[in-house]
Structure 1
């Protein structure tokens, strides 16, 4: 996975608005619905979504910048800090300890398990005397307890190093598009067991919901675990989820807002026509019934909020009209704010 800043094409100093703008531009360009004949675009779209999941979240972005998570959002392993507070060392000075009576002990492994070749003070607080406790920490107390511990001549059984729990579950994270969440579909998922399975995505799946695949986990002595597929829904370049409802900003021209007219509004099922009444102000919200996401109580709605957009280039005639209007028909839309 590439650096998320490189994926979105923004510098590390970019603010949240610049990151969101870059994501929306790329997501709209690479969305699978607009690139059905280009299989590479789906991979790039997923990469862009993953990058935005990190950089669009303030906490995750800071964690990535500090090197705490990688480009996929997974925690990085920074290594051990050493034993006894000395990086790379052992308790009380251990291997390579300096002056002050520190000593080395050697260990061998044979039919009788681990054996200590005693140096002076073997088992003492300095040197390598805490080896039994170290093994207990690493492998768990059960590994030592089954044989009465490591002290007193008891031995360490190699088969206890990797105990097999009965039927362990495995977890996999999958990101789907908003359209897949609404309409359902199938996804091929690679499991930690090495298997590749086809997962059915039911319509109306919520963000963070899990799908359980029985018997697709790790085997144990008497059972096989399950695979738990945690589903995340990727941000959409146009729609924002609000429970079962969807929201979008609907750009309209100045003359459409003043005079009214019919405009095309995108939905997950295709575009529909919406009648804008004359004198519509920016911010007015229209509800399109049943055009949201599937839900138990019935589908949600699409909430389209009007945003008046002026011409991209200046217009002298419009400027003259506005000056005349300002002087002849002044009004104060902010009178209720004072």
Structure 2
């Protein structure tokens, strides 16, 4: 049987606080949760993290585990020393709950108060990530989530995505984490082909021609709520931002805005007639756009 370094598994120091241990567990549980993780061997890593947290979050278990000392290294052969565990009571032990032989040898077989109530393994709240679109957040939607259970079966849940939800926010599904625990789904946005999101505001790059920018124009612009007409003022420049008030994501006390960023698109001069037109334009409208670069 191999010794397991639970502190190393969670990536915390041996003197880490309870809060440090909880934060480390939540971060790793989200990273390796089998339902969402693309990491290699995610399921086994998730089980290792859950086992380490089961020990280090419990003051009695952690004290008993620390009694083994810091001279052991992960992977070394290990047998509990004679009389190990005396003076400790593991009333919330999880022996037989799917953890390793190392765990069971310390906490699940013959140690502690066997008459005390046992909490099923995995009772901790579960955390996972759900990726949605900006359209989901704008309109609100219902998404189907498939959850893998310990018995190998898959459970399907219908999750309501509220309007205006933000990246990093969590949706709580009471009692859906297994063994009566809650499941928390952290919101993540899929990249969008048109929009960039900052807070509740949306940014859209809008291609415009030189004459639309110079003379002004009214053009159709996409928004999450449908296309709208936008007036481009005469004399606009590439990089100018025009605001569509209230066209961002829903929010309180007011929805976000959509900012349209003008991007000048120059027609290619593929013919001699087109090149001559550009020569006439250069003569009629002389301009040095780089003159400010060399001012001292």
Q: Answer yes or no: same fold by TM over 0.5.
A: yes
The answer to whether the Cα contact below 8 Å between 1:136 and 1:143 also exists between their aligned partners in 2 is: no
Cα pair distance change 1:301/1:138, threshold 3 Å: same
TM-score where L is the length of structure 1: 0.53
Instruction: Give how far 1:170 is off.
Output: 2.6
Give the equivalent residue in structure 2 for 1:205. 165
**Would you say how many aligned residue pairs link Structure 1 and Structure 2?**
204
- The one of 157, 175, 195 equivalent to 2:155 is 195
Structure 2 unmatched runs, 5+: 1-31, 45-75, 82-99
C-alpha distance in 1 between matches for 2:217 and 2:77: 85
Q: Which has the bigger relative contact order, CA under 8 A and spacing at least 6?
A: 2
Is structure 2 residue 267 aligned with structure 1 residue 311?
yes
Give the equivalent residue in structure 2 for 1:132. 80
Larger Rg: 1
Instruction: Give how far 1:211 is off.
Output: 0.7
Residue aligned with 1:283, SS: coil
- The one of 108, 112, 116 equivalent to 1:143 is 108
Give the equivalent residue in structure 2 for 1:258. 214
C-alpha distance in 2 between matches for 1:317 and 1:247: 37
Instruction: Give how far 1:276 is off.
Output: 1.2
Please report the RMSD computed on the Cα atoms of aligned residues, expressed in angstroms: 3.2
Give the equivalent residue in structure 2 for 1:74. 38
Give the equivalent residue in structure 2 for 1:101. none
Cα pair distance change 1:315/1:264, threshold 3 Å: farther
C-alpha distance in 2 between matches for 1:278 and 1:74: 50
Cα pair distance change 1:163/1:227, threshold 3 Å: same
Give the equivalent residue in structure 2 for 1:167. 123
The answer to whether the Cα contact below 8 Å between 2:80 and 2:106 also exists between their aligned partners in 1 is: no
Instruction: Give how far 1:283 is off.
Output: 1.1
Instruction: Give how far 1:232 is off.
Output: 1.2
Instruction: Give how far 1:280 is off.
Output: 1.6
TM-score where L is the length of structure 2: 0.60
Give the equivalent residue in structure 2 for 1:184. 140
C-alpha distance in 2 between matches for 1:326 and 1:306: 22
